[in-house]
Amino acid sequence: MRRIQAKAAGLIIGGGAPIAVQTMCNTHTQDVEKSVAQCLEMANAGAKLIRLTTQGLKEVEALAKIKDILRNQGINTPLVADVHFNSEVAIAAAQVADKVRINPGNFSQVHKDAQSQFSRFIEVCRKYKTAVRIGLNHGSLGEDIVNRYGNTPEGMKQAAMQWLAMCIDEKFDNVVVSLKASNTIVMSQAYLLLYKAMEESGTVFPVHLGVTEAGNADQGRIKSAIGIGALLDKGIGDTIRVSLTENPVNEIPAGMQIAEFFESGLEAKLKALVQQQNSRTPILPFNAFECDKEDWNRFIIRAASLFGVMLLNKEIDDFAIAENPYSAKKMEALKENIQQGARRVFYHPEYIACPGCGRTQYNLEETFNKVKEKTSHLKGVRIAVMGCIVNGPGEMADADYGYVGQGGGLVTIYKGKNPVLKSVPDSEAIDLLLKIIEEDQK
């Protein structure tokens, strides 16, 4: 078995290296000053990789400037360019960034053209020693794959294996792979299928784990901990990103808390205690989680990484945390969020919200919180809030309704995959979205 290690600047990813926690700027990349400031904050918080939106050649130029300024300040954190749709931009970015994230399937609608563009891209990466992430998301698979396998975990695996096979043929190893989804079951199944297929092929590439559009606050952290934890529990995962619709610097402690729970052996110890109880509703005391009362975020991440993963895997049906210092109401909300994150019981609407990036043209965090406030009574409805019209509609996957920012203060409202109201002023958009959902529910 060949276990590949990828290398982005000085950072080793995979093959037994520590889990690298990463994040992504939500600044406009062309705003070099703001992007540098955010990268500095992220590096100081412990980010091992920082990704920036690189949608065009101007952003590639800006990325080069950002990199120079950071390196001159002694910050050597590898920078990752995030490129969609355009192989020429990916090729330019590969000459500047330490790693480039692409979805090769969207280079061209014609698969053969996408293949030849990918091949040219790889040659540039080889020359510049640039790492590559083949990043496929549920909802943005190529047409040929969707026609053959559907928008399914199997389709996601097939798409990834196709591109990885090309890397093997071209003897290009500096590759990381990801198959993200917002649904924790789809996400974990896709990665498990991919890992098995890589093992069967004899070459295992490093894996980047993440739950896309996880939302924010407790729900976002819990959903991410469950999806990522389900794979780390099986020894799968070399670099992780917790996507939160918040200040992206907050993603770093959340990612570090997940990685540390598994790498320290505490997860294995607590899981063994739970298994000894041989109960569908295990109980652990609060002090088993080794958290301070004040460290709520660490505690919920540990509880979700343990009980949420066991719920997702149907090893248990419920759980309790005895002798905890929190109010009954707070614990009830935690249990509901873990049950829903594991997709066992649905208590609330399901929110699918992207973290935002350099493509976002409005205050996503504030808008998402307003949407949550106005729709919190709509149990079981899947509502997406997406930062841009370019990737948003594809990536909101199986949402029932979508609020997608177009820029310039305008919004498109989706019902399933269909835009039902276009160019609505953002001051009216949330009420119109609510009206559409409520009319459907009559």
Residues that bind ligand SF4 (CB under 6 A): 354-357, 359-360, 386-388, 390-392, 395
Q: How far is the CB of 360 from ligand SF4 (least distance, A)?
A: 4
Whichever of 266 and 390 has its CB closer to ligand SF4, that residue is 390
Total count of residues recorded for the chain: 442
Whichever of 340 and 391 has its CB closer to ligand SF4, that residue is 391
Residue in the shown chain whose Cβ atom is closest to ligand SF4: 387
Q: How far is the CB of 404 from ligand SF4 (least distance, A)?
A: 8
Quick one: tokens of 28?
Answer: 């406009």
Whichever of 274 and 354 has its CB closer to ligand SF4, that residue is 354
Quick one: tokens of 401?
Answer: 């309704």
Q: Where are the beta strands (DSSP E) in 287-371?
A: 320-322, 350-353
Q: How far is the CB of 243 from ligand SF4 (least distance, A)?
A: 8
| 432, 413 Cβ separation under 8 angstroms | yes
Measured distance CA(332)–CA(329) in Å, rounded: 5
The C-alpha R_g of the chain, in whole angstroms, comes to 21
What per-residue string of b and e applies to 54-68 under the rule 16 or more CB within 10 Å gives b?
bbbeebbbbbbbbbe
Amino acid occupying residue 133? R
Secondary-structure percent of the chain, ordered helix, strand, coil, rounded to 5: 50, 20, 35
Measured distance CA(309)–CA(209) in Å, rounded: 15
Whichever of 27 and 108 has its CB closer to ligand SF4, that residue is 27
Query: What distance separates the 2 farthest-apart alpha carbons in the chain?
Result: 61
Whichever of 238 and 395 has its CB closer to ligand SF4, that residue is 395
Amino acid occupying residue 437? I
Whichever of 52 and 177 has its CB closer to ligand SF4, that residue is 52
Whichever of 15 and 394 has its CB closer to ligand SF4, that residue is 394
Measured distance CA(28)–CA(171) in Å, rounded: 35
Q: How far is the CB of 392 from ligand SF4 (least distance, A)?
A: 4
Measured distance CA(79)–CA(207) in Å, rounded: 18
Q: How far is the CB of 426 from ligand SF4 (least distance, A)?
A: 15
CA atoms within 13 A on the CB side of 82: 18
Q: How far is the CB of 270 from ligand SF4 (least distance, A)?
A: 33
Q: How far is the CB of 385 from ligand SF4 (least distance, A)?
A: 9
For residue 174, count other CB atoms closer than 10 A to its CB.
21
